[in-house]
A and B are shown apart, each in its own frame.
Chain A
């Protein structure tokens, strides 16, 4: 398939792996920020092609994983109400809240629907004027423009029965949180290509300078990731710390200005709790005052709450790249995709699920 097969070419992949081995002199730890990259690395076995000096650690860029349990509980509470159509992207449905997940709400009679775009949820609202239609607006900068568009359109078209449960997060503050942690071992980043398609990469330039880390904006196919690793290792070996763009076929330095304008119109920067990591200042997006009427938390009068996570789950350490999923004592035994203790075991982009699916030796079942 064009534009896919070229980036999965076995010969070129081996060639890049050899180039990386040639320039690698010292051990380096590199974090891929995005869960989509983690998934590709494990699925295609990219890390197995790399020299042993290079350790890839997996970042916090899995929207399903970092959405706080309190928000999942709120989603479950709203979805359980009569007269509500609760719309979500598919992989949020299996994330455990404190007592159950959205799929269970559906099994108990809740009207929970998978949609492919927030605009589909808006359409549902217009088709069902006697129902409250709520969209679960999660994700990074990647999904923010479409979510902003849905709210903006609801505002323009005066769709009163549409609202959004917003739990948007931003990548640069999370990278700073990781770099300023005393446990940090990350020496270079592969930044998330799709996030940068929207936002550009000027935000990363001060981070590279301040923390003296190379940051390479990287795509998602095997050859993208290998090239990203090559560019990152080259900088590390040469003692440089710049922002470079591997994913130039999609990313411009300034990003998508129209999309950014729409995000700024609908959302403002707020502090946000990250599941497993804790609250990071200025790390999320919430609705601006002008669009507050579309805030599902406000519309349904949900109180703030605090819920304790499984004490055994080390998701926070995994999401910060401090530990690998297989270093968790519960991995593959007390924590599996069927009975997850934490979100990274659920999402297809979660590091624990990727390791479980592609790496583990099967336990006796």
Chain B
């Protein structure tokens, strides 16, 4: 019995004395966990950014004695507002570059699903988190937790899939780890990947850079990954097979940066879907976001599955979708670039000043309402 923990645990024991599945669902409970347990315990300038990855300036890595003192940005660089990397002009020298560093774990069931598998997810997921920092992904680590009894052939297929995904995303898997647990103590295979990418531009891509007037762009239709997984898991079949949207995003982001789009923030729409991502950004950036429901592309088969199951596609997970917050002057050009990768890409809304921290949605019939963060798991309705 650890009285210290019981006394000081910031989430009252009376609320949820145990971890529920909803604590991993991408909604409010998970954010409570992050803010009150992990964020509180590990607090530092990198983590406090609440970004998809940490952005570490290379000059912070030079040995202490060599570091220019005080540890502020180089005089030649115009500083962004309190950001790890400066908003300088032109190409950065090596010492001015930054690294993006991130990690993610993959526990999907089933291991293979239409449009992807756990291996592909493990590579693309981490690659995409780096891309959302505006980084060019370079290296990944891969940690495997294997359950006793996992067929060797299954592992081989997953590893082959990771190899192909790494080639597609132009990253190398450079280090790894393997553990085997007793049968019944794992779900076949769990994979953790961590990734490092390099930031080679002067943009400050962060929720804190989002400004009123910015345009919100979405790179394609939403909800496909979540519905594809659910269809396999629950044995639901539809007229046509719904495939996951699982895909790498780094090359799309690179193109936006090359075309000098003034990107303020990027966020991939994984657990919790579009609605949760927008809420996170509205809260971290202290801005309001207004979305047009009819502008959000949802494929007809996904919409149909959601209607049957009583789910809202705006909260369903994706693995190849992101929102880009860009300066209004560049919105049209950015949209054309996104459309060159997916014709469904759309301008779905704008950033406003007030009410800060709130996402609103104009419904199909023209009324305004709040688009809230999910409070737990999305559960199918009774009728």
Q: Which of B18, B29, B369, B379 contacts A338 (CB 8 A)?
A: B29
Contact A103 B22, beta carbon cutoff 8 Å: yes
Contact A107 B19, beta carbon cutoff 8 Å: yes
Residues in B whose Cβ lies below 8 Å from that of A140: 383
Q: Does A10 count as interface, using CB distance less than 8 angstroms? A: yes
B218-269: which residues lie under 8 A (CB-CB) from chain A?
A: 234, 236
Contact B234 A1, beta carbon cutoff 8 Å: no
Q: Which of B18, B20, B236, B365 contacts A44 (CB 8 A)?
A: B365
Q: Does A106 count as interface, using CB distance less than 8 angstroms? A: yes
Contact A107 B21, beta carbon cutoff 8 Å: yes
* Contacts known (A10-B366, A13-B366); A116 close to B380, Cβ less than 8 A: yes
Contact B365 A337, beta carbon cutoff 8 Å: no
Q: Does B200 count as interface, using CB distance less than 8 angstroms? A: no
- Interface size band for B: 35 or more
For A356, the closest partner residue in chain B by CB is B372
Residues in B whose Cβ lies below 8 Å from that of A13: 365-366
Complex Cα distance, B19 from A107, in Å, reads: 7
Q: Which of B32, B357, B380 contacts A89 (CB 8 A)?
A: B380
Distance of A142 from chain B, by nearest CB (Å)? 5
Distance of A101 from chain B, by nearest CB (Å)? 9
Q: Does B179 count as interface, using CB distance less than 8 angstroms? A: no
Distance of A47 from chain B, by nearest CB (Å)? 8
Interface segment, one of A51-59, A69-77, A91-99, A269-277: A91-99
Complex Cα distance, B364 from A1, in Å, reads: 13
Q: Which of A4, A142, A337 contacts B383 (CB 8 A)?
A: A142
Contact B364 A44, beta carbon cutoff 8 Å: yes
Residues in B whose Cβ lies below 8 Å from that of A108: 18
For A139, the closest partner residue in chain B by CB is B382
Complex Cα distance, B300 from A253, in Å, reads: 32
Distance of A255 from chain B, by nearest CB (Å)? 16
Contact A361 B382, beta carbon cutoff 8 Å: no
Q: Mark each residue of chain B from 297 to 317: 1 if its CB lies under 8 Å from any CB of chain A, else 0.
A: 000100110010110000000
Distance of B22 from chain A, by nearest CB (Å)? 7
Q: Does B16 count as interface, using CB distance less than 8 angstroms? A: yes
Distance of A275 from chain B, by nearest CB (Å)? 15
Complex Cα distance, B366 from A116, in Å, reads: 33
Q: Does B41 count as interface, using CB distance less than 8 angstroms? A: no
B337-383: which residues lie under 8 A (CB-CB) from chain A?
A: 355, 357-358, 363-370, 372, 375-376, 379-383
Q: Does A26 count as interface, using CB distance less than 8 angstroms? A: no
* Contacts known (A90-B381, A138-B382, A348-B310); A45 close to B29, Cβ less than 8 A: no
Q: Which of A10, A42, A91, A138 contacts B379 (CB 8 A)?
A: A91
Q: Does A328 count as interface, using CB distance less than 8 angstroms? A: no
Contact B20 A107, beta carbon cutoff 8 Å: yes
Complex Cα distance, B29 from A44, in Å, reads: 26
Q: Does B59 count as interface, using CB distance less than 8 angstroms? A: no
For A94, the closest partner residue in chain B by CB is B376
Contact B303 A4, beta carbon cutoff 8 Å: yes
Complex Cα distance, B381 from A63, in Å, reads: 10
A-B contact pairs, 15 of them (CB 8 A): A8-B365, A9-B364, A14-B366, A45-B369, A64-B382, A94-B376, A104-B18, A106-B21, A107-B18, A139-B382, A140-B383, A222-B365, A358-B372, A361-B355, A362-B358
Residues in chain B within 8 A of chain A (CB atoms) = 15-16, 18-22, 28-29, 32, 234, 236, 294, 300, 303-304, 307, 309-310, 355, 357-358, 363-370, 372, 375-376, 379-383
Identify 20 new A-B residue pairs, CB closer than 8 A, beyond the known A8-B364, A45-B368. Answer: A1-B307, A4-B303, A43-B363, A44-B364, A44-B367, A45-B365, A49-B367, A89-B380, A90-B380, A90-B382, A91-B380, A92-B382, A93-B379, A336-B375, A337-B376, A338-B28, A338-B375, A356-B372, A361-B358, A362-B358
Residues in chain A within 8 A of chain B (CB atoms) = 1, 4, 8-10, 13-14, 36, 42-46, 48-49, 63-64, 89-94, 103-104, 106-108, 114, 116, 138-140, 142-143, 194, 222, 336-339, 348-349, 356-362
